[in-house]
Chain A
Amino acid sequence: MLSKQPIDVVVFPGSNCDHDAFDIIGRMMGHPVTEVWHQADDIGNAAAVILPGGFSYGDYLRSGAVARFAPVMDSVVDFAKNGGPVLGICNGFQILTEAGMLPGVLMRNSGLRFICREIYLRVERDDTIFTRRYIKGQVLKIPIAHNEGNFYLPEDQLDELEANNQVVFRYCDRKGNVTPEANPNGAARNIAGIINREGNVMGMMPHPERRSDPLLGKPDGADLFRSLVDHVNGR
């Protein structure tokens, strides 16, 4: 039975991957999807929330720093506290860290360049509500497009993150080896995506929504959205 509750895509001024996420959930996955403006008071009866990629508020001050104070965010924080699934992609990940919903910070790429290209990702967790359709160790080819993707946490907190098994994706080579050469932006321990301890809030720098429609190549990102849609439908 299909859940009537929509998956919400929050739109900030400067979001630019909101339509991609909307299209994948609605047209490809056939699940109800709603766009929610950043000035909205709440997210309604959402089954899940996606914070999309882009450059909210021009990335002024720090990426995600201004967006986390958008009126809609109080409701997103409450939703997550009550166990609601929240996925942050790229700028969405930056917003989640700024809001304290995920640990760490995404700093300027170590090479100082904006990077827009396809990279390889190794799936580190296949037991989350976002990645159940993948297999641990699977290598995905998915694009990145960011200037601030250099994940940072002090060493002791990184150890804690790893001990709690919160790393979901790492940058790797095409064979799945996690090497310094495969790290595009200087991210600590090649970390590309993490999840909170409770397992309902995930952030990632790569863009699975840009690799979900077979028209755009091998749709390695689709199973992420399929996992989420399965979850909200109680499957």
Chain B
Amino acid sequence: MKARVSIRLKSAILDPQGKTVQQALQQMGYSDVSSVRIGKLVELEVGGNDPIEVRTKVEEFSRKLLTNPLMETFEIELVRDVV
């Protein structure tokens, strides 16, 4: 099964990278872009077909390794293999 983990910086955390991109966009003339936040997308192939089991496993390692809960949140999206 495919899993996608979207990782975002918590809203309380400043994102200097996003700020820099926002400023660049404004300089390019996109003056109505009022906020840019940059995160990460992790795409995985995970064994197993039970979505609950797979989700539990992905959640577990997302908390342990893929994210740092002090500064990031994450969302998991599962995509069933087409047989």
Interaction A to B: yes
A residues with a Cβ closer than 8 A to B are 61-62, 65-66, 69, 98, 104-105, 107-112, 152-154, 186
Q: Which residue of A lies closest to B10 (CB)?
A: A154
Q: Smallest distance from the beta carbon of A197 to chain B beta carbons, Å?
A: 18
B79 at the interface (CB under 8 A from A): no
Q: Are the C-beta atoms of A112 and B68 separated by less than 8 Å?
A: no
- Per-position contact with A for B13-24: 1 when CB-CB < 8 Å, else 0? 110110010000
Give the shortest distance, in Å, between A11 (CB) and chain B (any CB).
21
B44 at interface (Cβ–Cβ under 8 A)? no
CB-based nearest A residue for B68:
A105
Size of the B side of the interface (Cβ < 8 Å), in residues, is 11
Q: How far is A69 from B64 in the complex, measured between Cα atoms in Å?
A: 10
Interchain nearest-CB distance for B72 vs A (Å)? 9
A104 touches B70 (CB 8 A): yes
Tell whether A153 pairs with B70 under 8 Å between CB atoms, given A61-B65, A65-B65: yes
B16–A98 CB distance below 8 A: no
16 more contacts with CB within 8 A, not counting A61-B66, A108-B17, A112-B20, are A61-B65, A62-B68, A65-B65, A69-B65, A104-B70, A105-B68, A107-B13, A108-B16, A110-B14, A110-B16, A112-B16, A152-B13, A152-B70, A152-B71, A154-B12, A154-B70
The interface residues of chain A lying within 8 Å CB-to-CB of B65 are: 61, 65-66, 69
The residue from B12, B16, B66 contacting A111, defined by CB atoms under 8 A apart: B16
Query: Which residue of chain B is the closest to A110 with respect to CB atoms?
Result: B16
Residues of A within 8 A of B70 (CB): 104-105, 152-154
Q: How far is the CA of A61 from the CA of B68 in the complex (A)?
A: 10
Question: Once the chains bind, are A107 and B66 in contact (CB under 8 Å)?
Answer: no
Distance in angstroms between the alpha carbons of A60 and B14 in the assembled complex: 21
- Please measure, in the bound complex, the distance between the C-alpha atom of A227 and the C-alpha atom of B65, giving whole angstroms: 34
Residue of A nearest to B42 (CB): A61
In the complex, the answer to whether A107 meets B17 with C-beta atoms within 8 Å is: no
What are 23 residue pairs bridging A and B, where the CB atoms are less than 8 Å apart in the complex? A61-B65, A61-B66, A65-B65, A65-B68, A66-B65, A69-B65, A98-B68, A104-B70, A105-B68, A105-B71, A107-B13, A107-B71, A108-B16, A108-B17, A110-B14, A112-B16, A112-B17, A112-B20, A152-B13, A152-B71, A153-B70, A154-B70, A186-B14
Cα(A78)–Cα(B10), bound, Å: 31
Chain B 57-83 near chain A by CB (<8 Å), digits 1 or 0 = 000000001101011000000000000
Residues of B within 8 Å of A186, CB to CB, are: 14, 16
Contacts of B68 in A (CB 8 A): 62, 65, 98, 105
The smallest C-beta distance from A110 to any residue of chain B, in angstroms, reads 5
How far is the CB of B12 from the nearest CB of chain A, in Å? 7
